[in-house]
Structure 1
């Protein structure tokens, strides 16, 4: 299982490096959206500090959704996904590998860039640390939930709009807890409760989302 997982992750990472333009589009989208808000809102420090968690989290959520289109669609178009489903290897493990590779390409860079982008909002070091921790816990949840939506709409005309309608309601709790953790840290309450809730959401998503995604893929292929 470990070899299969590593092989799927390595394959998808190699394919992503061949499509650097698509990967950089997601990254630049996140940077541009976050960087434009201070210019539009103005230089008021308290206002920027208050808005920063929500802005960064919404930008990360939208960037994650932007990358969902390349999770299964290329393999579905060339028939590779059907061969994966027909192989004797567990489709659930293949899904986990593909989602992990997707997060490494589209989610992890957002986590690494968030502290640098948070500086322009005037956040302190403790708040920036909590922001990075919340994104580290939350962005995998976005990828896992988004994989279910991407699988359900695979091959459907207008699938991008349907994915948004399916996954956005499920993204809302992650957005609330993620942005709320930074606000709680700034107010002195502490972010432990919010981060624990994000950790619980991650554990639940890891346990359930791959099975649901594999089932949706089999339905889409048939």
Structure 2
């Protein structure tokens, strides 16, 4: 009698999905650079529009950097589940012997790691381009480290709601922006508070609390939205 292979567990399915995403990313590595290039373009245009004066740029640098990161995240949000919906992978996810929310969470993490993480690593260079005072850079990095995963988790819910629609780019942005605005306010506000000599910990704690809640609820909500969209 032939022995049956054991069903994959949560770590095994996560590892397989991450390897698959990395292979697909390598095949379209040119597209993977688009969010970072878009953010750089936004920052350069702001710098040119404001005249390139260091003092003026330093005053608006936190807001400009956060807006650039947010817009670049919106640019890549439509690709979160679109490819899996088109090739039938989402239907296989629903039949997998692991919770759909787990697969959604892994995909959201990979989306953040391949779109927002490169921007996070490039933030010191972009901050220098905007003449951000170096004393504010740690607060900016902390706010982005807490805020960008939160944006990805919120975006996953919106992307799941629109996964069954074609040409949903504008609708996706309209649905995501109201959820993104509080993150933008607290993220840029923490750096502004630091620049004014106030304590930025309160805003960072709110971002951290939002991230913890989203880590628990967003994959569940996105999984439910995918089931509704595909039924």
Please, what TM-score do these two structures have when normalized by structure 2? 0.92
1:135 matched to 2:144? The reply is yes
- Residue 101 of structure 1 corresponds to which residue in structure 2? 110
Q: Does 1:213 align with 2:217?
A: no
Aligned residue pairs: how many? 222
Tell me the alpha carbon deviations over residues 100-156 of structure 1, each in whole angstroms, 9 at most, x when there is no partner.
000000010111111111112222222111111111110001110111111101121
The answer for unaligned runs of 5 or more in structure 2 is 1-9
In 2, Cα distance between equivalents of 1:102 and 1:9 = 10
1:26 aligned to 19, 32, 35, which one?
35
Q: Distance in 2 between matches of 1:14 and 1:190?
A: 43
Q: Distance in 2 between matches of 1:205 and 1:139?
A: 12
Residues 11-45 of structure 1, C-alpha deviations (whole Å, 9 max, x = no match): 21221221112211111101111122111101333
CA RMSD of aligned residues (A): 1.2
Task: Return the index of the structure with the highest Cα Rg.
Answer: 2
Q: Equivalent residues in 2 for 1:138-217 (5 A)? A: 138-217=147-226
- Matches of 2:193 and 2:154, distance apart in 1: 25
What per-residue deviation string (whole Å, max 9, x for no partner) do you get for residues 145-197 of structure 1? Answer: 11111110112133111111111001001000100111111111021111111
Does structure 2 conserve the Cα–Cα contact (< 8 Å) formed by 1:112 and 1:132? Answer: no
Query: C-alpha distance in 1, partners of 2:100/2:93?
Result: 7
Structure 1 or 2: more helix by fraction: 1
Asked if structure 1 preserves the Cα contact closer than 8 Å seen for 2:153 and 2:214, the reply is: yes
